[in-house]
Amino acid sequence: MRARPAPMDLSHVRFRAPRAPRPAVRPARHLASPHTSQDAGFADCVDGLPAIVLARAGLDAGAYRAAPLRRRVAACLRAVSASSETAALAQLEQDDTLHSTALNTLLIGVSSFFRDADVFTALQTRVVPTLAARPGTLRVISLGCSFGAEVYSLAMLLAEAGLLARAEVVGLDCRADAITAARSGLVDERTLAGLPPELRTRYLERTATGWRLTDTLRARITWAVDDITQRVAEGPWDLVLCRNVLMYLRSDVAATLCRRIVAALAVGGVVVLGKAERPAASFRLRTLAHCVHQFDGH
């Protein structure tokens, strides 16, 4: 029986992810105060093409801020080759396959390995060692995981620390096609850009059409379609990632989601938010690093 190779020392590895284009969204200042002025009134009601696309995906359009979605309408029209919202709706009626294209364009799913190097450096140096000290099963979840690269990045960090074998790793997204793609483990060259060569060698294998995450890594991950604006998977969770999701939600919905995340954290558990998302003091989260916050107790 072959001995398991020793965990790779990643102290010399710099996680360099491609810089993603910043969405034209005004970031929320905090996540605590419901019903701010930006959410009040008809001006912030999601309507037209975005409302219909979200509704047909089983999502509550009322949970989202209207302004970011309206800014994506032009891109959505281009994606479905329509000259107007009326024309786009007609095409969606005729071709069901266009619904996922429209939804992905509106919600801007972004997925790349080790995206935001400073965040993953903090996870590697500040969070993973604390997870190693915990007994029993480690529970890790990514909310709004898109096409899965972030979840696989987490799984690699856990594997390198010798923790993956006792970890439960979950990826959730509201888009079924994103979860299908994540579950497949297939990766294109562009997505590979942020992956250190050492990890590419260890956790990916060549296929006839490109690259695929190894079966060992994929076997430790559970994928599911879910609407996190309605519920958060039952805890306790040792690590929750919810990056660049809250900023697209109405402030009251974002605050409720953040409360649910904190309630689902284990004592000492960690939540990772987006760079434009800051938890309010009332959530009693201690900042370990930029975007990385620890819950010290209920």
Confidence label for 282 from pLDDT (cuts 50, 70 and 90) = confident
Same domain, 45 and 170: no
| 3 state SS of 275 | coil
Residues 201-220 have pLDDT tens digits of 999 999 888 899 999 999 99
pTM equals 0.83
Strand order in the sheet with 292-295: 221-225, 167-173, 138-143, 237-242, 265-273, 292-295, 285-289
Whether 85 contacts 53, CB under 8 Å: no
Same domain, 122 and 98: no
Confidence label for 29 from pLDDT (cuts 50, 70 and 90) = very low
Residue 289, pLDDT > 60, answer yes
Same domain, 166 and 252: yes
pLDDT of residue 44: 67
Residue type, 128: V
Q: Which of 107, 136, 153 is the last residue of a domain?
A: 107
Give the C-alpha separation, 260 to 248, whole Å: 17
Same domain, 101 and 122: no
pLDDT of residue 218: 96
User: How high does pLDDT run on average in the chain?
Assistant: 86
Same domain, 80 and 144: no
Percent of the chain at pLDDT exceeding 90 = 71
pLDDT of residue 262: 94
Give the C-alpha separation, 211 to 215, whole Å: 12
Residue 26, pLDDT > 70, answer no
Residue 3, pLDDT > 80, answer no
Q: Which of 84, 107, 130 is the last residue of a domain?
A: 107
Phi, psi angles (nearest 5°) of residue 46:
-75, 125
Give the C-alpha separation, 113 to 51, whole Å: 31
Q: How many domains does the chain have?
A: 2
pLDDT of residue 5: 44
176: tokens are: 């079924």
Same domain, 231 and 282: yes
Residues 78-115 have pLDDT tens digits of 999 999 999 999 999 999 889 999 999 999 877 789 98
Confidence label for 120 from pLDDT (cuts 50, 70 and 90) = very high
The answer to whether residue 281 is domain-embedded is yes
The answer to whether residue 11 is domain-embedded is no
E strand or H helix at 205: strand 204-206
Structural domain including 238 reads: 117-295
Same domain, 155 and 54: no
pLDDT of residue 30: 46
**Between 26 and 161, residue with greater pLDDT:** 161
Q: Cis bond leading into 236, ω under 30°?
A: yes
Strand order in the sheet with 204-206: 186-187, 211-213, 204-206
Give the C-alpha separation, 214 to 140, whole Å: 19
Same domain, 175 and 81: no
Residues 219-258 have pLDDT tens digits of 999 999 999 999 999 999 999 999 999 989 999 999 999 9
Give the C-alpha separation, 219 to 1, whole Å: 20
Same domain, 125 and 52: no
